[in-house]
Chains A and B, each alone.
Chain A
């Protein structure tokens, strides 16, 4: 069984706002029977252009139903502009988190919301139009979809992209293409905000900020790579520029652990936190 939170199970068992709004101002439909989940979202605005009523119909698993239900609760009373800012991560957070393999349920919610807003703005029931090149033919996921999800969720691996969008989860032939997209966005991210320059322009990191960013980098950039090989890493201490870590799992017994420390862990921390960091393994 999936490790669903109590809130997911509550929204699955007692879904809020099921159905179709009478004479809706916006209609968003995403997904398909073939994909295994689909969501139809309809909303109606009040005189102040706030979402007065919103309803959903979902074909899908427990977390798809819960994500849809949560979304309707979250956007009720919001203006279109406010609602448009709701991300898939917000939906997952509202539910107390989703298993990573189920994050695509929250992405489906977000896509239906955007489609509904689009239909309101264009004044018609616009079915989701495929924007850009189709990357995953099994699940009909486009380059545009993948880029948006990678950017908004700061994804680092192909596996994560599959969990969030399903792309690559069918025949798997498009995994190489997804890898290229992930790599390209990472490069853009680095260019846009090189950590070294924030450092040199005098915005020195406080120790707490530095530790927080080290932890974040380990979690988002380093751990997924190590986990692919059955390893893990624990942050033990930070003393000035020295970052002391312990390798766990397969890494602890790995012949090339020193290589991993310098070429992966240190390189990533220098890239994302500060260029003067030195990584050391905790003495045994």
Chain B
């Protein structure tokens, strides 16, 4: 059965160009870049080339890029590292809609006695900048606000947020895992101190990430016991994956504008088609500030996992904010923080596209979805009797 893949905020297909670039480093060129012989040391230049490619994606200096094992490690390193950089315990400020990779280390710091302030979001998932200012007035702070939300695609005004944090003397980290490669990022213009990105969200394989650390930003390393990455991240470099991330970053940088224009048009086609053909459906998130590939749509009266299994039977891959599909008993913390009613949270489905999706695939989903919704609603006790 053909797979109609609409779950690109979960993971993306590794680009063939990326795999091709990686292969030599899984076969002949397997040396250790730290070695004092040509066979190993010769690999070093490929690692540094990848560093330049990743730096170029966000207009950073290559020395500011630290390779990690994943986006989660980047976020953990940034938050725990910045939190522990001085003996002072800064306030930790984040939002209620951060990814667990950010929420986890923030809660860990709270357990260690740090003051944690979670900023609320409004019904489209945006923070109130006045609330941020108020939190910044409480003293030195490490602030972590995601560039774009993974569930709804809501894009935060990172320029403005970063400027306010810097004006107050704080350290600013952004989880840009969903934004990198999809949105233009320029750290020369946006004063972020730390920025996390992940390879497998931009068509590199899983198991590779990067952390941007602005020159002069002090962080305590997370992995200890080696000089690698300028003593900012110990451990022998994952050369094949670093090379893969470099190539993926280059692909994202060089093909961005035309890619995302087409993806956004496909996403809009999907959104319009589903809203028209499925009654009692609605879109979650900030429609004016949204990732070009993300559609979070709720179908009233029915439950997300049941929708996902029905879609999966047709070869369609998506995800849901419902409790059952998350593996926990609580539905999406993001949609709940936005005040989306339970009826819409449990029946929320996220379609996230990539440059590999086609119009034919979008039309297939639009054609199949109404029957799924109708079938599940026929089973639901909550559909109003008089319609």
Contacts and interface: CB of A to CB of B under 8 A. Distances in A.
A32 to B, nearest CB: 8
A15 B380 CA distance: 12
A139 interface: yes
Contacts of A57: 379-381
A169 B381 contact: no
A61 B342 CA distance: 15
Contacts of B330: 169-170
B324 interface: yes
Contacts of B303: 36-37, 59-61, 64
B333 to A, nearest CB: 12
Interface string A35-75: 01111100000000000000011111111110000000000
Given A12-B309, A59-B302, A62-B306, A36 B346 contact: yes
Nearest to B343: A33
- Contact size range, A: 20 to 34
Contacts of A63: 324
B138 interface: no
- Report which residue of B305, B328, B330 has the largest number of chain A beta carbons within 10 angstroms of its beta carbon: B305
B306 A18 contact: no
Nearest to A12: B309
A235 to B, nearest CB: 31
A58 B305 contact: no
B342 A59 contact: no
A62 B305 contact: yes
Interface string B359-379: 000000000000000000011
B382 interface: yes
B379 A36 contact: no
A34 B323 CA distance: 10
Interface in B259-305: 301-305
B322 interface: yes
A38 B306 contact: no
A60 B378 contact: no
B328 A65 contact: no
B313 A13 contact: yes
A166 interface: yes
Contacts of B384: none
In this complex, the member of A39, A60, A169 whose beta carbon has the largest number of chain B beta carbons within 10 angstroms is A60
Contacts of A64: 303, 306, 324
A166 B323 CA distance: 11
A61 B382 contact: no
Contacts of B343: 33
B325 interface: yes
Given A34-B342, A36-B329, A60 B306 contact: yes
Contacts of A62: 305-306, 309
A128 to B, nearest CB: 13
A29 interface: yes
A55 to B, nearest CB: 10
A59 B300 CA distance: 11
A162 interface: yes
B181 interface: no
B324 A61 contact: yes
B381 A29 contact: yes
Given A33-B343, A33-B346, A37-B303, A59 B382 contact: yes
Contacts of A166: 329
Interface string B305-316: 110010011000
A37 B302 CA distance: 9
B331 interface: yes
Nearest to B309: A62
B379 A169 contact: no
Contacts of A169: 328-330
Contacts of A65: 306, 379
A157 interface: no
B298 to A, nearest CB: 12
Interface in A196-215: none
Interface in A1-40: 1, 9, 12-13, 15, 18, 29, 33-34, 36-40
Interface of A: 1, 9, 12-13, 15, 18, 29, 33-34, 36-40, 56-65, 101, 139, 162, 166, 169-170
Interface of B: 301-306, 309, 312-313, 322-325, 327-331, 342-343, 346, 378-382
Given A29-B381, A57-B380, A169-B328, 10 more contacts: A1-B312, A18-B378, A36-B346, A38-B381, A58-B380, A59-B380, A61-B303, A61-B325, A62-B309, A64-B324
5 contacts: A15-B379, A56-B379, A58-B379, A60-B306, A61-B305
